[in-house]
């Protein structure tokens, strides 16, 4: 070989080594005799802990180890004997302690005679691929477990053809797995949403959206699709993309949303539309009526004295009554008419069709009769009457809010005129409402500036005219309007929660006056003060009475507190505790306006009460109403049977006084004896009277300290 040929050979050999070391495959050559390594590239040598020089001359067993050599020997024998290449895989412990996977190719090397003289070894590291396959198998196993454990439907499809589905999906659709697999996925989607689902499939979007599928029985099932693309093991260990769709039944969600929407727009007790829903619907109807030039009528209906039912019979009975009233209103009107419960005992109605005053008045008459009909509750017959206000569209307003306001104003006019009636709105009512608003503002100022005074009225024994008590009555000394009686401002004060500060002022002022008269030797009987429900229910009420007594230096026996029947209908245990504490201080208790409520005999028997005051309305009717006489007589007999003193309010004539005397009434009060007087005039009246009996505490109380 010439020097040039030798140089060329060496260059070619160097090139071979560079290429051999650069390829990502471990390469070695073993001769048949002794299976000795005669060549190895860097990858092969390093794979088994050698370099390219130290590995040469070593046998297979020395290179790969005894166990591995025995493992591959059958394959080596096959290559030698058949002169066919062999491929196999095995595992190697890696330097990092992790198992490595290799793919080995053994290729025979033959001489010119066709005999095997050695073998080439090519090794590829396939660890990454095998780990990826293992991870994919694990993922598929987890996915399979998830599919069967999930409560939601899951379906796989490839190119739009279903490949798998879990039991919840089968149950949702009503099919077996065999009936689904191989079928087009779109075939089970509702027809009206199929184009949207097809577009998502074509775009390969990963998305969630609401749609619908079709059950095997043809029924529509609203669902939510959550669509994802996943890799799965396909035929021949090939990874391929499939679409996975979670199919979530949203019927419970839609039902809940419908219930929430219904609750948001309807009254929970009666099922009628509430204020917000009525106003929205009414504005739509008004807009339509405006376009068509049609009149409409809006009615505001409020139940009279409904609070008495709740206070005396309890809220469950009150709720039942409201449900009955709602049903009666709905039954009286036409289906096209709109009815709403605005809250409490208020109902608002919007009438279609004939909206003339005559036609609306006929509807109101039917409503008055239907709503006011008696209702049997636990063996007792009760009834409440409605007061109705009417506003006409477009004469009385152009919007629902305006019509409601004016109908409400008319309803209050109906209450003021005796209740259980119907009034149509007219502009003068709005003026009256504005005047009431001005009165409210002025009343707030009066409370702040102390514009109130007390007048006093005596309570005399019917038999001999002896002074048995004095009642303090509040008056408003209005700077412009003069003296205003309690009927002119107390209802408004009660509605605006002003009776609490007013009541505290009355209590302190009356006690101070009583102590003054007692010190002067003019008063030896209790002085009565009216309590408002707000005052009686207020926290620390008993403490406030005790503080007022201490501030005035008065004994409890100098004070009588007048409460209404409705106050007795509150929590009886709490009422009993309050009255017992008052009785322990020597304070007397009277039930005012008795006969107008629903006080039970059991309550009267167990509560510490000293006196029943017959409502003036019954006394007024003694001369003309036989029913009033019967009621008054029954109250007198009831009081006598319970050992309670009975006082008749509003006695105005000698005939009334004589009748009360004949029936055994104990005490009378009214203008027949004396109109309520300011303190200085009443003091003059006291000085002109015989000395009253000695002041005595309530019968169940200890004697007060002097």
Domains (range + CATH), the chain: 15-125 (3.30.450.20), 137-254 (3.30.450.20), 271-425 (3.30.70.270), 500-687 (3.20.20.450)
Q: Which of 606, 596, 613, 610 is nearest to 575 (CA)?
A: 606
> Which pLDDT band, with edges at 50, 70 and 90, does 601 fall under?
low
Give the C-alpha separation, 639 to 651, whole Å.
Answer: 18
Give the C-alpha separation, 454 to 659, whole Å.
Answer: 31
Average pLDDT over residues 646-652: 93
pLDDT of residue 329 exceeding 50, the answer is yes
Predicted pLDDT of residue 145: 59
Per DSSP, 524 falls in state: -
The answer to whether 627 touches 655, Cβ cutoff 8 Å, is: no
Average pLDDT over residues 480-492: 86
CA angle, 355 then 359 then 365, to 5°:
125
Give the C-alpha separation, 701 to 579, whole Å.
Answer: 11
Give the C-alpha separation, 449 to 442, whole Å.
Answer: 10
The answer to whether 410 touches 300, Cβ cutoff 8 Å, is: yes
Q: Name residue 101's beta-bridge partners.
A: 91
Average pLDDT over residues 31-35: 89
Chain segment 381-433, per-residue pLDDT in tens? 788 889 999 999 998 888 999 999 999 989 988 887 888 899 999 887 766 66
Q: Which of 244, 242, 208 is nearest to 226 (CA)?
A: 208
Predicted pLDDT of residue 600: 56
Q: Which of 93, 129, 117 is nearest to 238 (CA)?
A: 129
Predicted pLDDT of residue 336: 85
Chain segment 100-110, per-residue pLDDT in tens? 888 999 999 98
Predicted pLDDT of residue 627: 72
State how beta strands 386-393 and 380-382 pair.
unpaired
Give the C-alpha separation, 18 to 594, whole Å.
Answer: 119
pLDDT of residue 697 exceeding 50, the answer is no
Whether the bond between 282 and the residue before it is cis, its omega within 30 degrees of 0, is no
Q: Which of 479, 473, 543, 564 is nearest to 513 (CA)?
A: 473
The three-state secondary structure class of 284 is helix
In the chain, the N- to C-terminal Cα span, in Å, equals 150
Lowest-confidence segment of 75-89, 396-410, 448-462, 488-502 by average pLDDT: 488-502
- Residue 163 CB partners (closer than 8 Å, separation 6+): 156, 157, 181, 242
The answer to whether 16 touches 24, Cβ cutoff 8 Å, is: no
pLDDT of residue 142 exceeding 70, the answer is no
Predicted pLDDT of residue 437: 73
The answer to whether 503 touches 535, Cβ cutoff 8 Å, is: yes
pLDDT of residue 183 exceeding 60, the answer is yes
The three-state secondary structure class of 416 is helix
> Long-range pairs for 331-340 at CB < 8 Å and ≥24 separation?
331/370, 332/363, 332/366, 332/367, 332/370, 333/363, 338/273, 338/278, 338/281, 338/282, 338/285, 339/272, 339/273, 340/267, 340/272, 340/273, 340/274, 340/275, 340/277, 340/278
What strands lie across the sheet with 239-249, from one edge to the other?
A: 161-165, 153-158, 239-249, 220-233, 208-214
Predicted pLDDT of residue 599: 58
Give the C-alpha separation, 506 to 450, whole Å.
Answer: 11
pLDDT of residue 267 exceeding 90, the answer is no
pLDDT of residue 16 exceeding 90, the answer is no
User: Rounded mean pLDDT of the chain?
Assistant: 86
Question: If you count them, how many residues does the chain have?
Answer: 706
Predicted pLDDT of residue 184: 94
The answer to whether 386 touches 442, Cβ cutoff 8 Å, is: no
Q: Name residue 290's beta-bridge partners.
A: none
> Which pLDDT band, with edges at 50, 70 and 90, does 648 fall under?
very high
Predicted pLDDT of residue 223: 94
Residue appearing with tokens 């769709």: 245
Q: Name residue 209's beta-bridge partners.
A: 225
Predicted pLDDT of residue 58: 92
The answer to whether 558 touches 517, Cβ cutoff 8 Å, is: no
CB atoms within 10 A of CB 215: 13
> Which pLDDT band, with edges at 50, 70 and 90, does 626 fall under?
low
What backbone phi and psi angles, to 5 degrees, belong to 508?
-65, -45
Chain segment 193-217, per-residue pLDDT in tens? 999 999 999 988 889 999 999 999 9
Predicted pLDDT of residue 298: 94
Q: Counting runs of H as helices and runs of E as strands, what totals does the chain give?
A: 26, 27
Average pLDDT over residues 307-321: 84
Average pLDDT over residues 630-648: 90
What backbone phi and psi angles, to 5 degrees, belong to 219?
-75, 150
How is residue 394 written in tokens?
A: 């477009």
The answer to whether 594 touches 613, Cβ cutoff 8 Å, is: yes
What's the per-residue H, E or C state across 29-73? EEECHHHEEEEECHHHHHHCCCCCCCCCCCEHHHHHCHHHHHHHH
pLDDT of residue 239 exceeding 60, the answer is no
Predicted pLDDT of residue 573: 78
What's the per-residue H, E or C state across 208-260? EEEEEEECCCCCEEEEEEEEEEEEEECHHHCEEEEEEEEEEECHHHHHHHHHH
Give the C-alpha separation, 202 to 200, whole Å.
Answer: 6
The answer to whether 468 touches 523, Cβ cutoff 8 Å, is: no
Average pLDDT over residues 544-569: 89
Give the C-alpha separation, 667 to 646, whole Å.
Answer: 6
Chain segment 151-167, per-residue pLDDT in tens? 789 999 998 999 999 98
pLDDT of residue 236 exceeding 60, the answer is no
Predicted pLDDT of residue 114: 82
Give the C-alpha separation, 614 to 601, whole Å.
Answer: 16
Q: Residue 303 belongs to what H/E stretch?
A: strand 296-303
Where are the strands (E) in 576-679, listed by range?
Answer: 588-594, 611-614, 645-648, 667-668, 677-678
Chain segment 287-310, per-residue pLDDT in tens? 998 988 889 999 999 998 888 888
pLDDT of residue 705 exceeding 50, the answer is no
Burial class from Cβ neighbours inside 10 Å (0-12, 13-18, 19+) for residue 431 reads: exposed
> Which pLDDT band, with edges at 50, 70 and 90, does 678 fall under?
very high
Give how far the C-alpha of residue 674 lies from the chain's centroid of Cα atoms, to the nearest Å. 56
């Amino acid at each position: 070989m010439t020097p040039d040929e030798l140089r060329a050979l060496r260059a070619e050999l160097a090139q071979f080594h560079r290429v051999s070391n650069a390829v990502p495959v471990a390469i070695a050559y073993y001769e048949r005799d002794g299976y000795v390594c005669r060549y190895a590239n860097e990858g092969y040598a390093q794979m088994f802990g050698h370099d390219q020089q130290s590995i040469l001359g070593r046998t297979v067993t020395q290179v790969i180890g005894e166990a591995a050599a025995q493992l591959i020997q059958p394959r080596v024998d096959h290559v030698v004997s058949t002169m066919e290449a062999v491929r196999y895989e095995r595992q190697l412990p890696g330097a990092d302690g992790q198992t490595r996977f290799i793919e080995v190719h053994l290729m025979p090397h033959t001489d010119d005679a066709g005999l095997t003289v050695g073998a080439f070894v090519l090794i590829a590291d396939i660890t990454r691929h095998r780990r990826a396959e293992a991870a994919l198998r694990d993922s598929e196993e987890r996915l399979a477990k998830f599919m069967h454990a999930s409560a939601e439907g899951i379906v796989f499809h490839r190119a739009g053809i279903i490949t798998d589905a879990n039991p919840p999906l089968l149950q949702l659709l009503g099919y077996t797995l065999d009936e689904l697999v191989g079928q087009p996925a779109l075939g089970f989607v509702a027809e009206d949403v199929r184009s949207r689902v097809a577009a998502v499939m074509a775009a390969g979007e990963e998305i969630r959206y609401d749609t619908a599928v079709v059950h095997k029985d043809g029924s529509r099932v609203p669902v939510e699709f959550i669509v994802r693309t996943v890799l799965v093991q396909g035929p021949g260990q090939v990874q391929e993309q499939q679409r996975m769709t979670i199919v979530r039944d949203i019927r419970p969600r839609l039902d809940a949303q419908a219930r929430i929407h219904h609750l948001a727009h309807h009254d929970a007790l009666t099922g009628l539309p509430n204020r917000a829903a009525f106003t929205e619907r009414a504005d739509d109807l008004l807009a339509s009526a405006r376009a068509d030039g049609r009149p409409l009528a809006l009615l505001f209906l409020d139940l009279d004295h409904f609070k008495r039912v709740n206070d005396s019979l309890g809220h469950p009975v009150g709720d039942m009554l409201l449900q009955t009233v709602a049903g009666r209103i709905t039954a009286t009107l036409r289906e096209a008419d709109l009815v709403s419960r605005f809250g409490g005992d208020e109902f608002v109605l919007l009438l279609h069709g004939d909206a003339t005053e005559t036609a609306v008045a006929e509807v109101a008459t039917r409503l008055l009769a239907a709503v006011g009909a008696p209702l049997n509750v636990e063996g007792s017959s009760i009834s409440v009457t409605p007061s109705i206000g009417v506003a006409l569209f477009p004469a009385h307003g152009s919007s629902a809010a305006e019509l409601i306001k004016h109908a409400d104003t008319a309803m209050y006019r109906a209450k003021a005129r005796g209740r259980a009636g119907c009034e149509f709105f007219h502009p003068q009512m709005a003026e009256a409402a504005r005047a009431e608003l001005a009165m409210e503002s002025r009343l707030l100022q009066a409370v702040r500036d102390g514009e109130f005074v007390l007048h006093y009225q005596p309570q005399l024994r019917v038999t001999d005219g002896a002074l048995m008590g004095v009642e303090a009555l509040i008056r408003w000394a209005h700077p412009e309007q003069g003296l205003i009686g309690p009927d002119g401002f107390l209802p408004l004060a009660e509605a605006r929660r002003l009776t609490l500060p007013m009541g505290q002022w009355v209590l302190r002022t009356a006690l101070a006056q009583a102590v003054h008269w007692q010190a002067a030797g003019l008063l030896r009987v209790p002085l009565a003060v009216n309590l408002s429900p707000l005052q009686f229910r207020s926290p620390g009420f008993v403490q406030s009475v005790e503080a007022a007594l201490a501030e005035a230096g008065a004994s409890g026996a100098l004070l009588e507190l007048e409460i209404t029947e409705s106050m007795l209908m509150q929590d009886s245990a709490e009422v009993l505790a309050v009255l017992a504490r008052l009785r322990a201080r020597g304070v007397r208790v009277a039930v005012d306006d008795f006969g107008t409520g629903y006080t039970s005999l059991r309550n009267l028997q167990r509560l510490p009460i000293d006196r029943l005051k017959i409502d003036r309305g019954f006394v007024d009717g003694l001369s003309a109403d036989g029913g009033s006489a019967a009621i008054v007589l029954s109250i007198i007999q009831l009081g006598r049977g319970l050992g309670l003193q009975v006082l008749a309010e509003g006695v105005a004539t000698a005939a009334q006084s004589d009748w009360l005397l004949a029936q055994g009434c104990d005490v009378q009060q009214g203008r027949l004896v004396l109109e309520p007087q300011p303190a200085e005039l009443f003091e003059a009246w006291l000085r002109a009277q015989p000395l009253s009996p000695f002041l005595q505490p309530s019968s169940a109380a200890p004697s007060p300290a002097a």
